[in-house]
Amino acid sequence: MIPTPDPSQETLVLNMGPQHPSTHGVLRVVLKMDGEYVLDAEPVIGYGHRMHEKMGEVRTCSGFYANVGRMDYGGALSFGHGHVLAVEKLAGIEVPERAEYIRVITTELNRIASHLLWFGAFLLDLGAFTPILYSFDDREDILDLLEHITGARLTFSFHRVGGVCRDVDDRFVDGTRAFIKLLRGRFDTYDKLVTGNVIFRNRAEGVGVISKDMALKYGLTGAMIRGSGIPYDVRRVEPYSVYPKFEFEIPTFPEGDCMARYRVRMAEMEQCCRIIEQALDALPEGEIQAKVPKKLKLGPGDVIQAVEAARGQLNYYLVGDGSDTPYRMKIRSPCFSNLSVLKELTRGVLLADLVTIMGTFDLVIPEIDR
């Protein structure tokens, strides 16, 4: 129920951020408050705007690739995967099958690492310190594996137009299988520590409910829409790479509240494990890099490539004019689109619940401020 402001009382304008811990970056939310109730929440973005799209139009594809990991540092490989797929589609390059399998394996590992980062930070926002110690312990194992073959631990520059820069070896394969076994043993610990915790359930259940109509109206994606019972996942509805070869489920929960969005991301980690295991079992022999001209020509023409990033649907729109740089690059990032629902969703909630709701958005601010 939205409270009616008392005309005898003054409303308060409160700036939440841009350095507020729960905004996870330079996001400012201007709040109009009536006591503890939020009357209006206006996100203010642009503090970290770096003109990525414009840089993509004046640099070659290989020169721009380092930018993609700087947009979503939590799930950089998904952003890289989408970019190279769009370029390959526009340039007519066929990628070796082994390279696509390696892309999927590393991207799904990165998706798990992103969800673990969100899990720990979300609970920290709510005042629980212990979960982040467990989640970062598991996340470090993933970063060790990815560092072994990519040389990086955060903003990976691993994909290449036509393939990947390095092949996987037995150390990576065996380490990945061991990690999956370890992570599955952790899920029960996470359930006991957090999911079944009465304090957490009281903070999350019935809070920030997004109906199906609202999710569709705002074009929400990722856990934001699947937490409202809509099984929309780009890997299923617009299949790309080698994802059609794998069996996996799209976790959905119909409640639409913060708890549902939490449960979606926790269930997705198990589905990532399933995809990785199938990809490792079926990993074909062969080359990891196609032959690509030294000066790659794009187009003429235009393409759009959608991928399922850690936070939802990511689109790259490229227009080529026959030169080695795109004439136009447009990036549709999931956090930017998901943030649009904040104003309507939080009208009338308690300030403490606003922190919970924003935590389930899993916002990465550099992705919003492209």
Q: pLDDT of 293-320, one tens digit each?
A: 888 888 899 999 999 999 999 999 999 9
Q: Greater confidence, 20 or 79?
A: 79
Question: Which token pair is 269?
Answer: 């980690």
The pLDDT of residue 4 is: 58
Q: What value does the mean pLDDT of the chain take?
A: 91
In CATH terms, the fold of domain 52-337 is Cytochrome-c3 Hydrogenase; chain B (1.10.645)
pLDDT at 143 over 60: yes
- Could you give the 3-state DSSP secondary structure of residue 246? coil
- Could you give the 3-state DSSP secondary structure of residue 130? helix
H helices of 92-129, where?
97-125
- If you average pLDDT over residues 59-76, what whole number do you get? 89
Rounding to the nearest 10 degrees, give the CA dihedral for residues 143, 148, 150, 156.
10
- Residue 82: pLDDT band (50, 70, 90) is very high
The pLDDT of residue 20 is: 77
Yes or no: say if 220 and 338 are a contact pair by the CB < 8 Å rule. Answer: yes
pLDDT at 231 over 60: yes
Closest by CA to 182, choosing from 145, 232, 227, 210, is: 145
**165 φ/ψ angles, rounded to the nearest 5 degrees:** -85, -15
pLDDT at 24 over 80: no
**143 φ/ψ angles, rounded to the nearest 5 degrees:** -65, -35
The pLDDT of residue 141 is: 95
How far apart (Å, rounded) are the C-alpha atoms in residues 265 and 135? Answer: 13
pLDDT at 17 over 80: no
* pLDDT tens figures, 273-286: 999 999 999 999 99
How far apart (Å, rounded) are the C-alpha atoms in residues 30 and 11? Answer: 13
pLDDT at 6 over 80: no
* pLDDT tens figures, 157-196: 899 999 999 999 999 999 999 999 999 999 999 999 999 9
Residue 198 CB neighbour total at 10 angstroms:
7
